[in-house]
Amino acid sequence: MQSSNAIFSSSRQLLLASLFLSFGLGIGSLTARSALAEDQTEAAKQVDGNRTSEKLIPDQKALAGAPSTTFDINHLFADTAVGTGEPLVLSVEHNTKKKVADATVKDGHLTIEWGKVGKTEITVRAENLTTRKIVDVRFNAKVWHPDYWMLMMTVVGGLGIFLLGMKNMSEGLQAIAGGGLRRMISAVTDNRFMAVGVGTLVTTLVQSSSITTVMVVGFVNSGFMNLAQAIGVIMGANIGTTITGWILALKIGKYGLPILGLGSFCYLFIRNDRIRYTALAIMGLGMVFFGLSLMKDGFSMVKELPAFEAWFARFDASTYLGVLKCAAVGCVLTFIVQSSSATLGITISLAAIGVIPFETAAALVLGENVGTTITAWLASLGATTNARRAAYFHVIFNLLGVFWVTALFGKFIPLVNQMLDFAFIQRMAGVDAAAGEAVSVTVKIAAVHTTFNVVNTLLFFPFAGMLGALLERVIPQKDHKEKPHLTSLDIRMLETPVIAIEQSRVEILRMADGCIKMMDWLEEITGQEEPDQKKVQKLFHREEVLDTIQDEIVAFLSDMLAANLPHEVIDEGRRQLRMADELESISDYITSILKFHLKLQNQGHRFSSEMREQFAGLHKIVNSFLNLVIDGYRRRDAGVMTKANTSSSEINSLVKTLRDDHLRRLTEKKVEPHVNVAFTSTLNSYRRVSDHTLNVAESLSGVK
């Protein structure tokens, strides 16, 4: 028993000893592993502490099929943690897609072998074996293939947004100017200084010299403006169009999209007309810069294409022949797109990204001044002689200007550069010369455009009369008397409603003058024993002309009123539609009076002397009333309504008196039935002429 207990006790002691031994070994093992892990962590921390990452190599980009690129990278690490003077071990540590670009390092040079289209990330490692410090340099390498469709769409889309922005900005400015713009146009006199000022201001607002010159040709063609006035306005238009370049020179290019968004929200959700159209102008400005930015993005691809770069290199303005070649390209391009603003935007985009040098851009701008004259020339086809003279003056004026500037191009460009060196001009252009900031190429192009047009105007201004006389000799007056045509209602004017409404007003005045002439001819014919058949045919023909004028005015104004217009223009358009209808009705009743007179004569009857005297007095009063209202419309005098009411009442009273006298005659003596019908019908027609004249006065005064 003692023996068993002894054995059990020994076994228990052995088991406990084994357990303690195992526990001790386990603790020791854990302690050892913990110590090893700490050593490894410390080592890792030490390695990470010696490794840094820097951006020393810019991202690389190459066209598909380009040869390998090699450049020295040793010097890149001079100012880094590894650059202590000891030799460095350089290697390519990481390359995600070797098929795109395979990078190798040898003798301190990095070589990139370009492969298929794609993008890869490459890491170049520099290790200092002495200090054990490492610098990793990561960069992206991209192989690309030109997407010509995307290039075209980007440029065309940018150009479209740019032109739409110019249109919106123009419409907004016109709406803000409102009646002031129309008053400027109607205030043009033979004073050439004033005409130049009006041309400059109008073109600044409509943002297009083409629109201004087409307007001038239309006004000359309709007889509203003479050749001397037109010459001054055309000169001013050339100066006013240069404002586009200075707008593009504003340093707000990167804010184009936010400006567009802000302007559009205000335009859509604010109901006040003046604020809405101010927002429209701001929205247009944002679209101009956003479109310009898109065009630059599109053309930036062109710069990286060797074929395109070589093609643009042909247009070098360093020689006289090169200047002429560049000017011809600018002329043809403007001729095709029919907008000097569009070609100016393209020119600035190409110059801003370095595709063409400044001198080439300047020569292109000169050509664009010639190309823009084609619009007015086209508008003059089929117009009167004076209208063609005005259009040809625009062509000759710009051609002569480009001729002398291209001849002195080598001195003209340095002159512009010297002008830009003046401190106040640099401040106006937003250039900080003290900080070493250079004048942007956009400012230079704008300066060239402005200098050319201002100097050209100053140079030829004293000889404008001589040029006008020369045009009168070169384009002689036709043998027969020319009558103004309706080409002033050019559909292109619908882009500028404030000017379009003024042109339709000119045609309304032509209708009014036609009615006054018909009244004069009617008085002359009815006073003759034998009516002058030529005058009779002339009166009937004039009534047909007024019908045609009314049809064209209605079509023109209907198209215009379908657009988004300020309330002021809409109200004016509606008044003009009503006036055109009233004046056409007046011409119909004047014709009716003559028809009654001729029919009575053909039937072998005449009005009695008493009747003729009564009609003569009535005709004089109605004619004076018509002249009073038309003169008020010509002077834009809404106060004529008071006098019109008085005159209308007098005429109605007189007509009633004459009708009563005629009824008395019918009871006292026999009156031929044909004479009776002709008398009452004529009396009624005169009353209708008076009523429609009063309606014209009401339209002028805004009475509905």
550-581: per-residue pLDDT in tens?
Answer: 988 998 888 888 777 778 888 889 999 999 99
CA-wise closest residue to 176 among 207, 202, 205, 201: 205
Going from the N-terminus, what domains does the chain have, and what CATH number goes with each?
53-145 (2.60.40.10), 149-474 (no CATH), 493-701 (1.20.58.220)
Alpha-carbon gap, residue 225 to 194, rounded angstroms: 14
pLDDT at 82: 74
The gap between the terminal CA atoms of the chain, to the nearest Å, is: 139
The answer to whether the beta carbons of residues 385 and 477 sit under 8 Å apart is yes
Q: Is residue 271 over pLDDT 60?
A: yes
Average pLDDT of the chain, as a whole number: 82
Q: Is residue 238 over pLDDT 50?
A: yes
Query: Which range in 185-194, 378-387, 489-498, 645-654 is most confidently predicted, on average pLDDT?
Result: 645-654
The answer to whether the beta carbons of residues 372 and 334 sit under 8 Å apart is yes
In this prediction, what percent of the chain has a pLDDT beyond 70?
85
Q: Is residue 629 over pLDDT 90?
A: yes
pLDDT at 621: 95
pLDDT at 189: 62
Q: Is residue 243 over pLDDT 60?
A: yes
Q: Is residue 220 over pLDDT 90?
A: no
Select the more confidently predicted residue: 101 or 486.
101
pLDDT at 695: 94
pLDDT tens, position by position, 321-335: 889 999 998 998 888
pLDDT at 589: 95
For 178, left (φ over 0), alpha (ψ -120 to 50), or beta? left
Q: Is residue 501 over pLDDT 80?
A: yes
Neighbours of 121 (CB within 10 A): 15
CA-wise closest residue to 163 among 375, 338, 377: 338
Q: Is residue 239 over pLDDT 80?
A: yes
Q: Cα 490 from chain centroid? A: 18
Select the more confidently predicted residue: 345 or 16.
345
Specify the length of the chain in residues: 704
Mean pLDDT of 464-469: 83
Q: Is residue 62 over pLDDT 70?
A: yes
Handedness of CA 297, 303, 307, 313 (dihedral sign): positive
Q: Is residue 253 over pLDDT 80?
A: no
CA-wise closest residue to 318 among 358, 290, 286, 345: 358
Mean pLDDT of 118-143: 89
